[in-house]
Amino acid sequence: MTGGLTWFLQGTDGAKQDTTALSYTLDLGLEAMLTEQGKAVVIFEAGDGEGVDPVIGALSGANYDAFFTELTNSVEGSTNVIALSISQAYYEAELLAGDLVITTGKLDVHGYYDENAYANDETDQFMSAIFTRSADTSYAQLDYYYAPGIVGQYTFSDEVGFTLVAANANGSGFSDVFNNLYFAGQVNVMPNLGGYEGNYRLYALSDARDSTDANGDVITQFTRVNNGEKTKNSAWGISFDQAIPGNIGLFARYSAQDDRIIENTVESSWSLGGLVAGARWGREHDSAGIAYGSVNLNSNAAVMTAAAIANPGDERHMELFYKYGYLHHFTLTADIQVIENIGGEADAGRVTVYGMRGQLNF
């Protein structure tokens, strides 16, 4: 059994309506080895507080961790009763002497591709969505985020691995599970450059999820600009991370989606930055990070008209943090983010987000 409790306190300066927001999330994981090659995993989550994102209206949020698991208490009429929900429940089997790993059940689908050693964990590294993963920044994440699916991961050698993901992205994912699937495939090249490890990932995905129109008819979600026909969405991306001398890790990420689809206000995004481990100055549990990135609007005029963005401007993000390891199981992180052209509006000005994060692991 493992778990983590994460608290965020964030405030804004320069937003249309400045605010200070508190949020927390709880993660609890249970794992049982059923055989020498297979294990069952159940992960519970709970959370309260939306953070500052609903107020600032950014294309890529300033707090990727915040979410509700609210349960209405019919006896007292309270809407602030937080439920512990099952976010993941799956079976994982190792085959072919561990070279092949098959995972099936309710999964964190986006967690199996676009990974990054230095920009992937909003509870320990950067807080902003753009520096965590491309899903929900460059392209839409799954409707309920967690969904039933199956993942195959095959390691060809110490230097090359391949991942294939199939899931149902529509709604809860538990209805019509084999209709209009969400697929992702990734190749990971893992060089060891002079004793310093790296990961160079290239992935592509196909998204054919459904939506329902006003008449109750199920339709394909995405619409072509040119002829109005319904179609699948597609996207691709790269995610690089590389350790270098001096306890430093560098990362870069880029992703893009189909710019001919009317719902795709964002055409692409990129980010780059680095982390420095505290061991460099004698603080083993500390780290510092800096990153810069851009959410790029669709260059298709018809898409911008549909999005009602009169003066488009790419949304730019900068983040700087310092994580202080107070105890072996507890860290405090001071964080500052600067977002320009927020919401893709060139005249929106600059918003600064100040934050503190507390992380307790057990």
What pLDDT, on a 0 to 100 scale, did the predictor assign at position 27? 94
Domain locations along the chain: 2-361
What pLDDT, on a 0 to 100 scale, did the predictor assign at position 10? 96
Over residues 299-310, the pLDDT tens digits come to: 888 888 888 888
Evaluate if residue 251 carries a pLDDT over 80.
Answer: yes
What pLDDT, on a 0 to 100 scale, did the predictor assign at position 164? 97
Q: What is the mean pLDDT of residues 133-161?
A: 92
Over residues 55-96, the pLDDT tens digits come to: 999 999 999 998 877 665 555 555 667 788 999 999 999 999
pTM of the model: 0.90
Tokens, residue 307: 């999005």
Looking at the chain, the number of H-run helices and the number of E-run strands are: 2, 23
Q: Indicate the range of 72-86, 221-235, 241-255 predicted with least confidence.
A: 72-86
The candidate with the shortest Cα–Cα distance to 237, out of 272, 263, 207, 268, is 268
Q: What is the DSSP letter of 303?
A: H
CATH topology of domain 2-361: Porin (2.40.160)
CA distances from 49 to 9, 16, 125, 343, 346 (A): 10, 20, 20, 21, 29
Distance CA 4, CA 236 (A): 32
Q: What is the mean pLDDT of residues 144-155?
A: 93
The sign of the CA dihedral 240, 207, 140, 359 is: negative
The alpha helices in 179-316, defined as continuous H runs, are 301-307
Over residues 307-358, the pLDDT tens digits come to: 888 888 999 999 999 999 987 799 999 999 999 999 988 888 899 999 999 9
How distant is the alpha carbon of residue 53 from its chain centre?
15
Judge contact between 339 and 349, C-beta under 8 A: no
SS3 per residue for 44-72 = EEEEECCCCHHHHCCCCCCCCCCCCCEEE
Over residues 252-303, the pLDDT tens digits come to: 999 999 888 888 899 999 999 999 999 999 998 999 999 999 999 988 888 8
Q: What is the DSSP letter of 84?
A: P
The sign of the CA dihedral 213, 257, 132, 150 is: positive
What pLDDT, on a 0 to 100 scale, did the predictor assign at position 219? 60
Tokens, residue 313: 């401007």
What pLDDT, on a 0 to 100 scale, did the predictor assign at position 170? 79
Percent of the chain with pLDDT over 90: 66
Q: What b-and-e string marks burial along 283-312, b requiring 16 or more CB atoms within 10 Å of the CB?
A: eebbbbbebbbbbbbbebeebbebbebeeb
Evaluate if residue 208 carries a pLDDT over 80.
Answer: yes
CA distances from 233 to 229, 271, 286 (A): 12, 22, 41
